[in-house]
Amino acid sequence: MGRGRAKAKQTKVARELKYYSPDTDLTALERELHGAQSKDVDRNPHVDSDEGYDDYESWSRRGR
User: In whole angstroms, what is the distance from residue 44 CA to residue 52 CA?
Assistant: 10
Q: What is residue 43's predicted lDDT score, i.e. its pLDDT?
A: 59
Q: Where are the alpha helices (DSSP H) in the chain?
A: 3-19, 26-34, 54-62
The residue-averaged pLDDT of 31-57 equals: 66
Q: What is residue 32's predicted lDDT score, i.e. its pLDDT?
A: 92
Q: What is residue 60's predicted lDDT score, i.e. its pLDDT?
A: 72
Dump pLDDT digits (tens) for 16-37.
999 988 888 889 989 999 986 6
DSSP assignment letter at 36: -
- On whether the CB atoms of residues 52 and 46 are closer than 8 A, the answer is yes
Mean pLDDT (the chain) is: 76
Whole-angstrom CA distances from 58 to 50, 51, 52, 55 are 13, 12, 11, 5
Q: Residue 27: what residue type?
A: T
pTM for the whole structure: 0.33
